[in-house]
Amino acid sequence: MRAEGRFSEAGELVCPAGTPAALRTAVDAGADSVYCGFRNATNARNFPGLNFSPEELEASVAYAHQRGAKVLLALNTYPPAGKVDLWRDAAAIAARVGVDACIVADMGVAQHIATNHPSLRLHLSVQAAASSPEAIRYYCQNFGVKRVVLPRILTIPEIRAIKQEIPCEIETFIFGNHGLMVEGRCSLTNWMTGESTNMDGVCSPAAKVTYEEDADGALRSCLGGVTIDSFAPGETAGYPTICKGRYTAPHRPEGYYAFEEPVSLNLSRLLPDLMEAGVHAFKIEGRQRSKSYVRKVVGSFREAVDAIRAGATPDLADLVALTEGQKETQGAFKTKKWR
């Protein structure tokens, strides 16, 4: 099997690409796999000017395969009733151009691919929110899922325990935007904007985001006209997402980060522990980021993984400048206290 042969070595680096140029950059920087999506609602980064046409995907698959890298297609949104064909068509293109796996969340989409494209490998998206061995086994047994992308809510001991009870590979996020809500179960954007993360593939769509500079030089970020946050002059900023905003509660009149502060996940120091816990693949978030981000982050983690594989201590480049709010966290992975 072509696909299985390509997915053998643990420590696989799964890297983001929002454009063909970013995909080539990721491959050249040492990505083992690159994940990307079509220019429509079938994936969770349906952003303006981003993503791939079928022709671009075909050329990109060829580029990656010539250099020994794989291409994973994100089909990880939930088709609303009446629009399922868009997802089915995307799967058919994926099969035709030879992508190495599809990353899915919706049971209907998973079942369609398992039935109609049985040779297409399936990965379970983080959007499916499968956070227990039972949930993961459900997708493995019914749709032949070969890999699960775990939600960013588990500690390393918990990941190790899950690994012992499931028949598939584990992929975890190691760097990038740190989603706070259980992915695939969040309608916050739809509440504010009328566009749905699950159905339309958008989180805080740029068309509904405005930045306003107040008289005192503070930067106010708004979504759908609602103030998400206000940054004093010189204070580092974050994405205009509801879960990274500052709000007041009756006993917190001064305003506070009710969910999480602008911060990025960086697990570079935990890579050996994750590998030892049975994590097969490391995912870097950021299909909406630039080639420059891809080059720096992928290059840095490539060196780190290679060092670990060679039994050496990785030299961890400082990636903090690329992080949201210019702050890093190990999130839930390090301690249960994060919850």
Partner 1 sequence: MELTLGPLAYHWTVERKRDFYARIADEAPVDTVYLGEVICSKRAPFFEREMPQVIERLQRGGKRVVLCSLAEVMLKRERQATADLMESEDHEIEINNAAGLLARDGRSHRVGPFLNAYNEATITWMADQGATHVCLPTEMPGEAVGIAAKAARDLDLGVEVQVFGRAPLAVSARCYHARAHGRTKDNCQFICEDDPDGMPLATRDDQPILRVNGIQTQSESYIELLAELPEMKALGITHARLLPQNVDMVAVAQVFNDVLNSGLDADDGRSRLSTICAGTAFSNGFWHGVAGYRHINRKAVAA
Partner 2 sequence: MTDATTHRPASRWPIFPTAPVRALLQPVLARVVRRIARRHPEMFARIAPYQQADFLIVARELPFALHLRPDPEQPVFRAVPRYPLPDHDARIEGPFMLLLNLVDGEDDGDAAFFSRDLVISGNTEAVVSLRNALDDVDGSIAQETADLFGPPGRAVLGVLRRRSGT
Per CB under 8 A, which of residues 107..146 are in contact with partner 1? 107-109, 111-112, 128-135, 137-139, 141-142
Among the residue ranges 91-99, 227-235, 279-287, 319-327, the one whose residues contact partner 1 (CB under 8 A)? 227-235
Q: Candidates 167, 185, 211, 249: give the one binding partner 2 (CB under 8 A).
A: 211
For strand 12-16 and strand 281-284, is the pairing parallel, antiparallel, or unpaired? parallel
DSSP string, 94-156: HHHHT-SEEEE--HHHHHHHHHH-TTS-EEE-GGG---SHHHHHHHHHHH---EEE--TT--H
Coil vs helix vs strand at 222: strand
If one asks whether residue 18 binds partner 2 (CB under 8 A), the answer comes out as: yes
If one asks whether residue 243 binds partner 2 (CB under 8 A), the answer comes out as: no
* Closest CA relative to residue 23, chosen from 32, 13, 35: 35
Retrieve residue 206's tokens.
């740029």
Q: Give least dist CB 34 to partner 1, A.
A: 27
Q: Give least dist CB 21 to partner 2, A.
A: 5
Q: Which is nearer to partner 1, 10 or 270 (CB)?
A: 270
Which of partner 2, partner 1, none does 112 bind, CB closer than 5 to 8 A by kind?
partner 1
Q: Candidates 127, 324, 328, 333: give the one binding partner 2 (CB under 8 A).
A: 324
Contacts (CB under 8 A) with partner 1, residues 244-303? 245-252, 255-256, 258-260
If one asks whether residue 50 binds partner 1 (CB under 8 A), the answer comes out as: no
Contacts (CB under 8 A) with partner 1, residues 171-210? 180-182, 184-188, 190-194, 196, 198-199
Q: Which is nearer to partner 2, 79 or 240 (CB)?
A: 240
Which of partner 1, partner 2, none does 293 bind, CB closer than 5 to 8 A by kind?
partner 2
Q: Which is nearer to partner 1, 111 or 292 (CB)?
A: 111
Q: By the 8 A CB rule, do 190 and 169 touch?
A: no
Question: Distance between CA atoms of 44 and 273, rounded to whole angstroms?
Answer: 29
Q: Which is nearer to partner 1, 182 or 316 (CB)?
A: 182
Residue 161 class from Cβ within 10 Å (0-12 exposed, 13-18 middle, 19+ buried)? middle
Q: Candidates 111, 116, 142, 292: give the one binding partner 2 (CB under 8 A).
A: 292
How many residues touch partner 2 under the rule CB under 8 A: the total is 41
Among the residue ranges 155-163, 164-172, 184-192, 292-300, the one whose residues contact partner 2 (CB under 8 A)? 292-300
Which of partner 2, partner 1, none does 186 bind, CB closer than 5 to 8 A by kind?
partner 1
Q: How far is CA 30 from the centre of its chain?
A: 18
Query: Contacts for 160-165 with beta carbons within 8 Å, 24 or more apart?
Result: 160/276, 160/277, 160/278, 162/132, 162/133, 162/136, 163/277, 163/278, 163/279, 164/278, 165/133, 165/137
Q: Which is nearer to partner 1, 78 or 293 (CB)?
A: 78
* Closest CA relative to residue 176, chosen from 290, 43, 314: 290
Which of partner 2, partner 1, none does 288 bind, CB closer than 5 to 8 A by kind?
partner 2
Contacts (CB under 8 A) with partner 2, residues 87-146? none
Contacts (CB under 8 A) with partner 1, residues 61-80? 78-80
Cβ–Cβ contacts within 10 Å for residue 242, how many? Answer: 23
Tell me the CA distances in angstroms from 83 to 42, 78, 144, 228, one per residue in order: 10, 10, 24, 32
Q: Candidates 99, 145, 170, 228: give the one binding partner 1 (CB under 8 A).
A: 228
Convert 130-160 to b/e letters by CB count within 10 Å (16 or more is b): bbebebbbbbbeebebbbbbbbbbbbbebbb
Which residue ranges make up the site for partner 2 (CB under 8 A)? 18-22, 24, 47-50, 205-207, 209-213, 219, 231, 233-239, 262, 288-293, 296, 321-326
